[in-house]
Amino acid sequence: MKDLDVQGLLLLALLTRKLRDVAPGDPRTYVSYKDVYRQLGFQKQVPYGRFLKNHGLSSLANWTKAEGTPGITGIIIERKTSKPGKGYFHLFGKEPTDVAWWHKQVRLSKEFDWSSYLPVSVFSESPEASDIAEPASRQETKAYRIIRDTNLARRVKLLHGYRCQLCGYAIRLPNGSMYAEAHHLRPLGKPYNGPDVTENIVCLCPNHHAELDYGARPLRVGELTAVCGHSVGEGYVRYHNETICGHENMT
Write out pLDDT tens, residues 203-232.
999 999 999 999 999 999 999 999 887 899
Looking at residue 134, its pLDDT comes to: 46
Confidence band for 132, pLDDT divided at 50, 70 and 90? very low
- Residue 133 domain-assigned (yes or no): no
CA 64/CA 116 separation, integer angstroms? 14
- Residue 1 domain-assigned (yes or no): no
76-77 and 31-32 beta bridge pairing: parallel
Looking at residue 149, its pLDDT comes to: 64
Could you tell me if 10 and 112 lie in one domain?
Answer: yes
Looking at residue 145, its pLDDT comes to: 46
Could you tell me if 78 and 176 lie in one domain?
Answer: no
Positive or negative: CA dihedral 112, 115, 117, 118:
positive
- Residue 251 domain-assigned (yes or no): no
Could you tell me if 167 and 83 lie in one domain?
Answer: no
Could you tell me if 52 and 154 lie in one domain?
Answer: no
What would the mean pLDDT of 174-188 be, rounded to a whole number?
88
What would the mean pLDDT of 92-109 be, rounded to a whole number?
96
Residue 62: pLDDT above 50?
A: yes
Could you tell me if 105 and 162 lie in one domain?
Answer: no
Residue 141: pLDDT above 70?
A: no
- Residue 190 domain-assigned (yes or no): yes
Could you tell me if 112 and 39 lie in one domain?
Answer: yes
Q: Last residue of some domain: 117, 149, 182?
A: 117
Which residue range(s) make up the domain with 52?
6-117
CA 119/CA 86 separation, integer angstroms? 31
- Residue 132 domain-assigned (yes or no): no
Could you tell me if 88 and 163 lie in one domain?
Answer: no
Could you tell me if 149 and 225 lie in one domain?
Answer: yes
What would the mean pLDDT of 10-17 be, rounded to a whole number?
88
- Residue 135 domain-assigned (yes or no): no
Q: Last residue of some domain: 69, 85, 117?
A: 117
Looking at residue 19, its pLDDT comes to: 92
Confidence band for 150, pLDDT divided at 50, 70 and 90? confident
Question: How many domains are there within the chain?
Answer: 2
Full-prediction pTM beyond 0.75? no
Q: Give the distance from CA 59 to its chain's centroid.
A: 16
Confidence band for 247, pLDDT divided at 50, 70 and 90? confident
Could you tell me if 154 and 105 lie in one domain?
Answer: no
Q: For residues 171 and 180, is the Cβ–Cβ distance under 8 A?
A: yes
Q: Last residue of some domain: 83, 117, 151?
A: 117
- Residue 50 domain-assigned (yes or no): yes
- Residue 127 domain-assigned (yes or no): no
Could you tell me if 147 and 101 lie in one domain?
Answer: no
Could you tell me if 170 and 203 lie in one domain?
Answer: yes
Could you tell me if 221 and 152 lie in one domain?
Answer: yes
Residue 250: pLDDT above 80?
A: no
